[in-house]
Structure 1
Amino acid sequence: MQTGWIAEWTAAARTGLSRFADIALPPLCLGCGRGVSAHAALCGKCWAGIDFIERPFCAVTGIPFPYEAGEGAVSAAAVAYPPTYARARAAMRYSDGAARLVHRFKYSDRMEAAPAFARWLARIGADILAQADVVTPVPLHKNRLFSRRFNQSAELSRALAREAGLHYAPELLTRVRATRPQVGLSGDQRRRNVAGAFRLGQGAEALVRDRHIVLIDDVMTTGATAEACARVLVHAGAAEVSVLCLARVVPAGGASI
């Protein structure tokens, strides 16, 4: 009887605290900042503006096919130039709506978005996470981390590891060179920009060797950054490296067979 009373009291207290929090900090849309019914949610207009990536897509790059290509189909680009990472998946296409979400998360300290985004990543990357051992972020250089105050990829990684019940290891990689922003660079320029920018973290060998590692980033454009990170991890003995990102730039027409 007493236990039941305590449970009811605890539930009532939590409800009261939740209502107080909603009054003090009303839930706002992650995309536009309008009021919504629950925290870490999107309003109807912003939700409609998000183009979530669904099958069919390339089994390696995760870029959508414009038509059904069969289970396990691989794009011509992935066959011609196979990446170091095993598989990549993105929750949504990079569009105006996706850019707004990423920008607010990245530069406006919308930390409450991380758990929601982690659920999106867990959904699109379920096959990858089922075989994974470790989740790690693409690291920021210390100068950029100081100016930005937090690494958005690290927050995504932390939330995803909690969501998927995996080990979160932010120390696997370190960024040893401050690179210029990738925005506006061509594919070749992006590859040159990040060449040699990443190294294995101090003492990370034991966490990498023979492990299935999931690398987390916010946006994937050409894949140059993911490729540079994957090379370091594979060279250090990782059994497999896969990539999950929040948004991906998709070529017009999608992937081709």
Structure 2
Amino acid sequence: MTLRARIQTAVSLVYPARCLNCGGLVESDFGLCSACWRDTTFISGLVCDCCGVPLPGEADGQSVHCDECLSSPRDWEQGRAAIMYGGQGRRLVLALKHGDRTDLARPASGWMARAARDLLSRRPLLVPVPLHWTRLLRRRYNQSALLAQGLAAREGCECCPDALIRVSKTPMLEGRSRAERMTLLADAIRPNPRMSERLTGRQVLLVDDVMTSGSTLSACARACIDAGAAGVSIVVLARVTAA
């Protein structure tokens, strides 16, 4: 056994691996225990090619879209999501977003990488959804930027954390209709003038923690296109669906 392996073994005896969600003992770092894994709905199989929501049926290689994306076309081309926003999935997202659990970004980026494998194969520029500076100051970090940087490190892609800026502070969007969200977000997100050259002619993959109506991602997609992006797709950690 090498010296490094011995040190790792000693550390594991003193600090055994714990479940990311409940703190129970697990076999390896950055994992979920069997109970938390069972209660976290990972998205697989047939999904909407545009928003990543799971669909009934079996994947056959053909592009399919959910009713929502068919009735209200998106401002981006393709989309993927790693988990459903409910149960343990919701707890994990809230812990990352509001609970200072920045350590969750590492495993979460791995889940997102699996969900967006085909989109990442294009070597896109990863661009996180921005926070307004006042919210960033209060929270101290942008969870979407942490996820984007984690994806970039895993996949060897470029990441531009400040490609977009939120020029106006919008109120909380939770509980609002899609139309209300779109109105509130109009002109709220723009390309960063100092970074717009990095977007020009690039395939962009927008990264966010949660997709509800998609209004924020639409605003970001339009800003990327305005800056000259060749195309825009999205990947989110969690997808909210109607009950």
Normalised to the residue count of structure 2, the TM-score between the two structures is: 0.92
Out of 207, 219, 224, the position equivalent to 1:233 is 224
Larger Rg: 1
What is aligned with 1:80? 71
- Once superposed, which parts of structure 1, at least 4 consecutive aligned residues long, lie more than 3 Å away? 19-26
C-alpha contact 1:172 1:201 (8 A) present in aligned 2: yes
1:52 aligns with 2:42: yes
What secondary structure, in the 3-state scheme, does the structure 1 residue paired with 2:210 have? Answer: strand
Aligned to 1:4: none
Pick one of 19, 31, 43 that aligns with 2:21. 31
Alignment of 1:184-199 (within 5 A): 184-199=175-190
CA distance 1:15–1:166, change in 2 (3 Å) = same
Give the fraction of aligned pairs with identical amino acids, expressed as a percent: 36
Q: After superposition, where does 1:1-257 map in structure 2 within 5 Å? A: 12-22=2-12, 25-68=15-58, 70=60, 71-252=62-243
Using structure 1 for the length normalisation, give the TM-score. 0.88
Q: Following TM superposition, by how much is the alpha carbon of 1:251 offset from its aligned partner in structure 2, in angstroms?
A: 3.1
RMSD: 1.8
In 1, distance between residues paired with 2:165 and 2:85?
A: 26
For the 8 Å contact 2:52–2:80, the answer to whether it is kept is: yes
Taking the aligned partners of 2:202 and 2:83, their CA distance within structure 1 comes to 27
In 1, the alpha carbon distance for the partners of 2:229 and 2:14 equals: 46
Could you tell me how far apart the structure 1 residues matched to 2:57 and 2:210 are?
24
Gaps of 5+ in 2: none
Q: CA 1:194–1:24 in 2, change beyond 3 Å: closer, same or farther?
A: farther
Three-state SS of the structure 1 residue aligned to 2:48 is coil
- Higher mean C-alpha deviation, range 109-118 or range 61-70: 61-70
Gaps of 5+ in 1: 1-7, 253-257
- Secondary structure of 2:47's counterpart equals coil
Q: 2 CA distance for matches of 1:79 and 1:64? A: 15
How far the C-alpha of 1:112 sits from its partner, in A, is: 2.4
